[in-house]
Amino acid sequence: MTSDEKTPLEQSWVLQRERAVAGLRLVFAILAVVVIQLNPTRAARFPLLSTYCLGTFLFYSLIVFYFAWKNRLGSFRLAVLTTALDLTWVAMINITTGGTRTPFFYYYSFPVITASLRWGLKGSLPVALAGVAVYLSMRLTLVAESLARPVAIDTMVIRSSYLLGLGSIFGYISQFERKQNQKLFALSSTAAEVAISGERRRIAFELHDSILQSLATLILRLENCRRHLLESQGELSEELKSAEELSRSTMRDIREFLAGKMVAPLSSGTLVEKLRDELRFLRDGLGLDVVLECTPENITLPQHMEREIYYVLREALINVTRHANATRASIHLRQDGNKLAGILSDNGVGFEQDAKTAKQGFGLLGMAERIKKVGGELCIESSPGAGTNISFVVPLTS
């Protein structure tokens, strides 16, 4: 994003600022009309021109207020145009309502303040200088002072200093505020990017650990069906039935995920039962020698912890079947006091941990993230030809 481009938050702030400025301008225009109605002698010198200036200024203020309310202002060119028109109209109202003795001298502060809000010092000081130049020109014009005693030189100096001081103070404050806002906008943009990245990461893990794990299991079951195709029709029928049920369950999970619901892989208190089902398939379908040991036999965990541990162990079992070329795998779970310890071992081919860690995907990374999510630590030990041990310890919450 370039320096001239604005974020949606900055654009919103610009539009709100223009609304406030347009509202203030309209209040000034209405107040000027009311003052002249209460004291018509202020416009006695140039009655027609004064009426024209006040009426057109009110009409112009209404138009700008309408476009500001419709969020059609905010561009640099329109800001410059409205500032120039404000300064011109204020000068004309001052000339036609009493010259240097006009009650509307302080209306010069309006374009100065709006310029400071829009551009800081580089906007407020030039507009203040222009206001001073118009005011001094009016003071030195004989037409403006032909029927009244000229204002003393000290009053001219004070009024000129007032405009320049106002422009300096408001310009500095606005410039400082602009810099602080830019920092806040940058921090807000960075925080939004981090939040989006975190949400994408969360979705990726959810898809990998729920949907993709189910599809990986489905592939294993279909491969098993292919092996049993020419063997037992009974076993083939059971495998096809299991694959059909898994396909329907996965489709249901996808629908719930798209609807924004949390995919629940198991009901509360069924962790051990689900693990036994997974191991039964690996034993009966793939011929893997598997062991599940739990102490105590029926481990009871908080539901959110069951969910995370189930995904971790299922991902590890899928890795065993897809990559390890193992003939034996075992899972040991031990609930001891206020902690749960678990370990999954296999006698597969293993891997180089440094190389695997350098290019690990969502599998191993997701396992570590899920154990960390429940306050535990995951440890992976492996080497070529020596199998793999995946262990974790998590604290149990009440």
Give residue 36's pLDDT band: very low, low, confident or very high (50, 70, 90).
Answer: confident
Q: What is the pLDDT of residues 39-84, one digit of tens each?
A: 888 776 788 888 898 999 999 999 999 988 888 776 788 888 998 9
Give residue 3's pLDDT band: very low, low, confident or very high (50, 70, 90).
Answer: very low
Mean pLDDT throughout 10-32?
85
For the chain, what are the domain ranges? 8-193, 268-398
Q: For position 21, what pLDDT does the model report?
A: 87
Q: For position 57, what pLDDT does the model report?
A: 92
CA distance 211 to 319: 16
Reading the block at residue 385, the tokens are: 């030809």
For residue 393, what are the β-bridge partners?
341, 377
329 phi, psi to nearest 5 deg = -145, 145
Q: How far is CA 125 from CA 87, 108, 109, 164, 242, in A?
A: 13, 13, 11, 7, 79
Reading the block at residue 208, the tokens are: 């990998």
Q: For position 394, what pLDDT does the model report?
A: 93
Closest CA to 113 of 1, 21, 46: 21
Helix 303-319 vs helix 213-227: crossing angle, to nearest 10: 40
Closest CA to 136 of 171, 164, 115: 164
Q: For position 330, what pLDDT does the model report?
A: 92
Q: How far is the first Cα of the chain from the last one, in angstroms, to the nearest whole number?
A: 49
Q: Could you give the angle at the alpha carbon of 161 between the alpha carbons of 35 and 109, nearest 5°? A: 35
Q: For position 209, what pLDDT does the model report?
A: 56
CA distance 151 to 245: 96
Quick one: what percent of the chain has pLDDT higher than 70?
68
Least confident of 14-23, 67-76, 133-142, 226-235: 226-235
Give residue 17's pLDDT band: very low, low, confident or very high (50, 70, 90).
Answer: confident
Q: What is the pLDDT of residues 266-291, one digit of tens each?
A: 667 788 888 888 888 788 777 788 88
Q: What is the pLDDT of residues 375-395, one digit of tens each?
A: 999 998 888 888 899 999 999
CA distance 341 to 23: 67
- Which letter does DSSP use for residue 287 in this model? -
364 pLDDT above the threshold of 50 = yes
Burial 286-297 (b: 16+ CB within 10 A, else e): eebebebebeee
Sheet with 289-295, strands from edge to edge, namely 289-295, 328-336, 339-346, 388-395, 377-382
SS3 344: strand
Reading the block at residue 5, the tokens are: 């481009």
Superfamily of domain 268-398 in the CATH hierarchy:
Histidine kinase-like ATPase, C-terminal domain (3.30.565.10)
Lookup result for tokens 């429940």: 374
Is pLDDT larger for residue 239 or for residue 89? 89
Q: What is the pLDDT of residues 159-216, one digit of tens each?
A: 788 888 888 888 888 877 777 777 776 666 666 566 556 656 666 666 555 665 666 6
Reading the block at residue 213, the tokens are: 């794990």
Q: For position 162, what pLDDT does the model report?
A: 82
22 pLDDT above the threshold of 80 = yes
Is pLDDT larger for residue 337 or for residue 29? 29
Q: What is the pLDDT of residues 301-322, one digit of tens each?
A: 888 888 888 888 888 888 888 7
Q: Could you give the angle at the alpha carbon of 225 between the alpha carbons of 219 and 230, nearest 5°? A: 150
Reading the block at residue 320, the tokens are: 């065993």
Helices (H) and strands (E) in the chain, counts: 13, 5
Give residue 108's pLDDT band: very low, low, confident or very high (50, 70, 90).
Answer: confident
CA distance 240 to 233: 10
Lookup result for tokens 């990461």: 201
For the entire predicted model, the pTM comes to 0.46
SS3 56: helix
Mean pLDDT throughout 229-233?
59
Highest mean pLDDT among 93-97, 134-138, 164-168, 389-393: 389-393
Q: Tell me the pLDDT of the chain averaged across its residues.
A: 77
**Strand blocks (E) in the chain:** 289-295, 328-336, 339-346, 377-382, 388-395
Q: For position 319, what pLDDT does the model report?
A: 83
Give residue 30's pLDDT band: very low, low, confident or very high (50, 70, 90).
Answer: very high
CA distance 232 to 311: 32
Q: How far is CA 349 from CA 273, 313, 326, 340, in A?
A: 28, 19, 7, 28
